[in-house]
Amino acid sequence: MKTPVPTDDHPDKAELRLCRLGIDTYKEAVIYLREDSHVCISEGFEAHARIRVCLCDRVIVATLNMVKSDILEPGYASLSEYAWELLSAREGDVVCLSHAHPVASLSHVRSKIYGNPLTMPQTVEIINDISAGRYSDIHISSFLTACAGGRLSLEETVHLTRAMVRAGDCLSWPVDMVVDKHCVGGLPGNRTTPIVVAIVAAFGLTIPKTSSRAITSPAGTADTMEILAPVELDMARMRKVVEQQNGCIVWGGSVSLSPADDVLIRVEKALDIDSDGQLVASILSKKISAGSTHALIDIPVGETAKVRSLAQARALENMLVNVARELGMEIRILISDGAQPVGNGVGPALEARDVVAVLRNESDAPADLRERALTLAGLILEFSPDVAAGAGRDMARDILDKGDAWRKFQNICAAQGGMRQIPVAPYTHQIVSSEQGRVTQIDNRKIARLAKLAGAPQDAVAGLDLHVKLGHEVKIGDPLYTLHTASPGELAYVRSYIDEGNHIIRIGE
């Protein structure tokens, strides 16, 4: 060695101060480092490297993005919003960086790629690493692909479900029977949950419902319910509501049930892969974590729904029933008609309006939403040993017609923090038919897109209100649907989109 090393030339190079750039990479942990930072050069970090980031006793693994400009000052690093949350970081915190150790469970993914079945311990390792944010999106995509195409056996799906439950919190309730419902998505306006919960809770069964916000749809059940009452309740508050009222409808995001599921769903959506094993594990892990003992799963089937064929629905049913049995949970499957939206409104406030109309037995309440809710509630009531098979639907109708469901719903809203007035959109525009004929197709996917372009779910009042159903006869000039928006600019924007030939309703002979 030619020269002595001056100690002040050799600081601990692996430490940098945090500065928040506010970049939302949607649940991928990313770290931003200056290309010329000492830590990049001396650690040999390259763009896309996986880096271990420590802040106090919290550790995550993040993907490196190099910054070649002055948005970061020398000595500073930044994190994507997701990484920022995972680390509970604050502006100016000092993080310690090092090369991430290779994630050991990736060797199990590789083994699966080579056709070997996943064992329970392997599955637990994989899911724990995914929940802890140790997999990059590239790794998650590989795991999902390796499990897709029917490559997950019944046994592996049971492992996966169990592992997903274990990786998060679990709720427990002081009763023997806790009922739940789930719909395998894809139908705009299909907002039966608040009605079903009201009926079932009024009957006396325990139904502590946690719902999600919209991920890619114009409204999630939590978004719609939030129009009518607060939904962000903590565990203690939620327990109190259920204790008093037998049921609740709250946002599931406040409790960490099956956290791996949220990470997997995000990448699944980007891939648009249908993996029955993953779907089954996703549904059942959430239900088991929520403490449910009995659940009704609604699978709408339709050309533009999530499940497109009866064969696909039957395969899913078969897997759901078998896996649930292994896990000691009782489930019942309803394969329903998914050919068109349910109710009239699409968007949080418009859907809330429909829900209330059905609960209040209003004469103009959408009949299809009412019938669907009664079918679902009836099947759930039949989980009760006190209700004979086939008798549930009549009992549900009775509860709804007598006003018991509406009273129960008002009480639940009050217990959750107080019932709210439904807001109305300041700007509306009616789209009329330019043809004469019969309504032959209503495209669920395009309706969702249109409602989102109108501003839903961010603008709670935005969305669209359908005036026709499949089979209706229309004349030229008859109203098809009405657009609702919060601003004139958005209304003009959606109209121009429709004028470009984007039609959601097909009129035929």
Residues 208-247 that bind a copy of itself (CB under 8 A): 216
Catalytic: 478? no
Structure letter (DSSP) for residue 26:
S
Q: Take residue 501 and report the two structure tokens written for it.
A: 């030939």
Q: Could you tell me where the beta strands, DSSP code E, fall in 35-111?
A: 50-55, 58-67, 76-79, 94-99
End-to-end CA distance of the chain: give it in Å, rounded.
Answer: 90
Q: Determine which residue in the list 166, 308, 407, 429 makes contact with a copy of itself, applying CB under 8 A.
A: 429
Q: Which of 9, 36, 223, 274 is catalytic?
A: 274
Q: How far, in Å, CA of 173 to CA of 248, rounded? A: 13
Nearest to 297 by CA among 271, 319, 327: 319
Which one of 430, 434, 436, 440 is in contact with a copy of itself (CB under 8 A)? 430
Scan for tokens 């439904």, then name that residue. Answer: 422
Q: Which stretch binds a copy of itself (CB under 8 A): 3-11, 187-195, 228-236, 286-294?
A: 3-11
Binding to a copy of itself in span 275-334, by CB under 8 A: none
Residue 119, helix vs strand vs coil: coil
CB under 8 A: which stretch of 130-138, 252-260, 353-361, 435-443 binds a copy of itself? 130-138
Q: Indicate which single residue of 15, 93, 137, 404 sits in contact with a copy of itself (rule: CB under 8 A).
A: 137
Site for a copy of itself in 16-75 (CB under 8 A): 20-26, 32, 35, 38, 41-44, 46-48, 65-69, 71
440, amino acid identity: T
Please give the single-letter amino acid code of residue 391: A
434 near a copy of itself, judged by CB under 8 A: no
Query: From residue 243 to residue 282, what is the string marking binding to a copy of itself with x (rule CB under 8 A)?
Result: -----------------------xx--xxxx---------
- Is the CB of 84 or the CB of 203 nearer to a copy of itself? 84
Print burial letters for 200-233: b (CB count within 10 Å at least 16), e (below 16): bbbbebbbbbbbbbbeebbbbbbbbbbbbbbbeb
Binding residues among 468-497 for a copy of itself as defined by CB under 8 A? 487-493, 496
CA atoms of 483 and 366, how far apart (whole Å): 18
Query: Minimum distance between the CB of residue 97 and a copy of itself, rounded to whole angstroms?
Result: 13
Long-range contacts of 320-324 (CB under 8 A, 24+ apart): 320/280, 320/283, 320/284, 322/154, 323/154, 323/157, 323/158, 323/161, 323/280, 323/281, 323/284, 324/284, 324/295
Does residue 141 interact with a copy of itself by CB under 8 A?
Answer: yes
Using the contact rule CB under 8 A, the part of the chain among 8-16, 289-297, 353-361, 414-422 near a copy of itself is 8-16
Q: Which of 75, 150, 204, 418 binds a copy of itself (CB under 8 A)?
A: 150
Which residues from 66-125 bind a copy of itself, rule CB under 8 A?
Answer: 66-69, 71, 80-81, 102, 106, 110, 113-115
Active site residues: 274
